[in-house]
Chain A
Amino acid sequence: MADVTITRTGLPAEAGQVSSLQRLMRRKSTIAFIMTLPLLLVIFTLVAYPAFYSLHLATLNKSMVRFVGLGNFEFLFGRETFWLVVYQSCLFAVTAVIFKAIIGFTVAHFVHNIPSKGQRKWRGMLLVPWVIPPAMSTLAWLWLFDPSYSAFNWLLAHVGVAPVSWTGNTHWARFSVILVNIWVGAPFFMIMYLAALKSVPEQLYEASEIDGANWWQRIWYITLPMMRNIISITALFSLIVTFANFDIVRVLTGGGPLDSTHLFATWAFRVGIESGDIPLGACVSLFMVPILAVAATLILRDIGKRGNEA
């Protein structure tokens, strides 16, 4: 009798559970969550966990046995090299992004005006610097800038110009790393801007032409306003990637001469891995976060504002 009672009371409850599970599984949001779960796990393992771990590391002393709170950050503020790295990182990222945007915009216009038959070839060729792994292409640049055997110096010598110490002089070294970054990154801007250009309705240009607008007015009043969201997003994305750059500086100058080309990532590696001070290295790398967060907030807020206006 008791068994029967249990069965009777249990059955409806079990049936209810199954049906609610089934209902849950039928919901689109559940399926979406399950399908994104592998990606979320990857992000958690490779992004979230290391990020929190580096936060933890940044609060430890050099031998990683004692909690020092914000002591490492305080220590960094007193270092001359740290402020040099802050300056160099900002100079590197801002200059490179501006030039990449200008070059990308200009080249996108040229490519846009090429008849569609031959355009694919040009698009493919212009993307080459962006698709080659930067560590490899920078090696080629290293040989071009080689302290003793620079191909550029060889060319300059033919026109009677004295050799330039591309990676041995502070200013030229900064110029060199920025130049290579522009070379690598400009095609990305070009392809983004080209896509944006193609989406600008042709009728707007036709109407402006009827109104007598010149080339500059068409760019200023039609092209740029229509592209501004893509310009902002591309600039933000590039700013983040450029700021966090490692390979170009590492291969080309190693941060030298006199630490004048170090970025946060390369200096963090020098301090953390090569000099055996992992907490300080983690601390250096974390400094990118607030700077990039401010830049991202400003740019995204602007995009949001424009979106509301629209």
Chain B
Amino acid sequence: MSKRASKLSRRRFIANTALASTALIAAPYVRGANAAGKLSIGFWDHWVPGANNVTKTLVEEWAAKEKVDVQIDFITSQANKLRLTIAAEAVARSGHDVLALASWWPNEYADKLEPVDDVMAPLIKLNGAVNDTVKYLGQINGKWVAVPATFGSQIKGPCSRIDLMKQHAGIDVQAMYPAGAKPNADNWTLETFLKAAEGCHKGGVPFGIGVGITSDSVDTIGALFHAFGAQLVDAKGNITAKSDPVRQSLDYYKQLMAFLPPDVPAWDDASNNKWLIAGKGALIMNPPSAWAVAKRDAPKVAEQLWTHGFPVGPKGRYAPYIPQFWGIWNFSKNKPAAKSLIARLSQPDAIEKMVVASNGYDLPAYANMTELKTWAEEGPPKGTLYHYPNPYNHMVLSIGGTPAPHAIAYQMYSQGLMTKLAVRHFQGEAMEKTLDYAVKELEGYTRT
């Protein structure tokens, strides 16, 4: 260092200083409309009409204030459009700066995502803690790789017909989950649930629970597995399919499937909604999108719908929680702006606007944000969504496949392993043969 300093002659120093000064003086002062650069965002295209507009407005307001030139794309998840976009951008290392990521994708693309601990820490301080499922999906080795998004996050709890449940199952769901008050659901157990399924089946309005391989089906069976304490793979990656809780879960599903419509193995995520809206069934497992559509297309049905909690099993009361995330590619050219935007969209006022715009469908991940007035006021019937965000922490919010390591759990989830096991067993395959199949599949999922 001293050597270099000694080589810097007086003549050269003066020349360099003059050059730098000239450049500084000559350069114009730039403070344009988009001085903070460009930002390209790929949001999930929301089901609820108008929900995109609020997010768009929030982004545009932020962009105007921060002087960022934004481009917003709302990308549908239909036909895997969003999935394919993300896969292509990850390979090409080019595309949007910020992208909406479905539950399992932060982990899948962790090595290509910008760490966001610096965004999450203040948000948790401001909005409250997040549950373990959000941490499981959004963190890798304790580091946040994506920020939980309110936009699109949901709980897939039961949505019941008030009248049909009273008539055929003798259950008053409004009394069990009263609007504005704590749940009174001690008797809402898996046994009660099975009896109610039987009663409604006999009454000609069976529960509409899919046993296909799309997410609604997998989420429901995932929560039921948790309620029995069943794990196909434990947190360390050991295959534990041949265990009593797994056998109990499959036996329970076998009993339940006898009371479901015969074609449930072929159901997709639209089938259960149609089932409820058409007035053919007494209960489905879904976020309030079915209720929202019924409000528009079948108002008489909508007036009888009540969203409430899951039945409790031997190991607890679990509900499927499907958080969405916002991630920033590590090849993004404007990471500070991306972080600033995500932080803005996670402020309490922005969260509330999104919840209102989605008619209560969107669920914030944060503990302090579960008692917004939208859920209390939405109707008819008034209070139908009051218990949707789990305001009393009455249920453990979970996702199917946990606590297995992410890569294995994701395969279990995306290939619908649990529902396949249930269908095989229901169709008469011996329990041990079904479990042998499970073990073989799981061995395949563990490949690295």
Contact = CB atoms under 8 A, between A and B. Distances in A.
Given A62-B447, A147-B261, A168 B266 contact: yes
A81 to B, nearest CB: 8
A256 B274 contact: no
Interface string A64-90: 000000000001001111000000000
Contact of B415 (A168, A275, A278): A275
B440 interface: yes
Interface string A164-201: 01111000010000000000000000000000000000
B424 interface: yes
Contacts of B80: 273-274
A4 interface: no
A79 B275 contact: no
Contacts of A173: 266
B266 to A, nearest CB: 4
Contacts of B280: 148
B214 A254 contact: yes
B197 interface: no
A79 B108 CA distance: 23
Interface in B68-110: 80, 83-84, 87, 104, 108
A52 interface: no
A278 B410 CA distance: 14
Contacts, number: 82
B342 interface: no
A165 B444 contact: no
Q: Output the residue of B87, B213, B448 with the most chain A CB within 10 A.
A: B213
B14 to A, nearest CB: 50
Contacts of A78: 444
A124 interface: no
B420 interface: yes
A173 B280 CA distance: 23
Contacts of B444: 75, 78-79
B212 interface: yes
A80 B212 contact: no
B83 A168 contact: no
A256 B266 contact: yes
B214 A168 contact: no
Contacts of B275: 148
A276 B263 contact: no
A310 interface: no
A259 to B, nearest CB: 8
A139 B407 CA distance: 33
A161 B116 CA distance: 60
Interface in B271-303: 271, 274-275, 278, 280
Contacts of A147: 261, 263-264, 266-267, 271
B274 A149 contact: yes
A270 B420 CA distance: 15
A61 interface: yes
Contacts of A129: none
B266 A253 contact: yes
A166 B104 CA distance: 32
A5 interface: no
**Residue of B261, B441, B444 contacting most chain A CB atoms (<10 Å):** B444
Contacts of A61: 447-448
B424 A258 contact: yes
Given A148-B271, A256-B213, A274 B266 contact: no
B87 to A, nearest CB: 6
B40 interface: no
Given A270-B415, A273-B80, A273-B87, A257 B447 contact: no
A168 B80 CA distance: 23
B106 to A, nearest CB: 12
A168 B447 contact: no
A29 interface: no
A308 interface: no
A75 B447 contact: yes
B262 A168 contact: yes
B91 to A, nearest CB: 8
B414 to A, nearest CB: 5
B268 interface: yes
A147 B407 CA distance: 32
A148 B424 contact: no
A63 B437 CA distance: 25
Contacts of A274: 80, 83, 414
A278 to B, nearest CB: 8
Nearest to A167: B266
A168 B424 contact: no
Interface in A239-290: 253-259, 270, 273-278
Interface in B108-149: 108
Given A62-B447, A148-B275, A168 B410 contact: no
Nearest to B444: A79
Contact of B84 (A62, A255, A273): A273
B164 interface: no
Contacts of A256: 212-213, 265-266
B423 interface: yes
A45 to B, nearest CB: 15
A173 to B, nearest CB: 7
B411 interface: yes
Interface string A9-25: 00000000000000000
Nearest to A142: B268
A78 to B, nearest CB: 8
A154 B279 CA distance: 17
A306 B121 CA distance: 76
Given A80-B440, A258-B423, A165 B213 contact: no
Given A257-B423, A276-B411, 10 more contacts: A62-B448, A80-B440, A147-B261, A147-B263, A167-B263, A168-B266, A254-B212, A275-B410, A275-B411, A276-B407
Question: Lowest 6 A-B CB distances belong to which pairs?
Answer: A168-B263, A168-B266, A147-B263, A257-B265, A167-B266, A165-B263
29 contacts: A62-B407, A75-B447, A78-B444, A80-B437, A80-B440, A147-B266, A147-B271, A148-B261, A148-B263, A148-B274, A148-B278, A165-B262, A165-B263, A165-B266, A167-B263, A168-B262, A253-B266, A254-B212, A254-B214, A256-B212, A258-B265, A258-B420, A258-B424, A273-B80, A273-B84, A274-B80, A275-B414, A276-B108, A276-B411
Interface of B: 80, 83-84, 87, 104, 108, 212-214, 261-268, 271, 274-275, 278, 280, 407, 410-411, 414-415, 420, 423-424, 437, 440-441, 444, 447-448
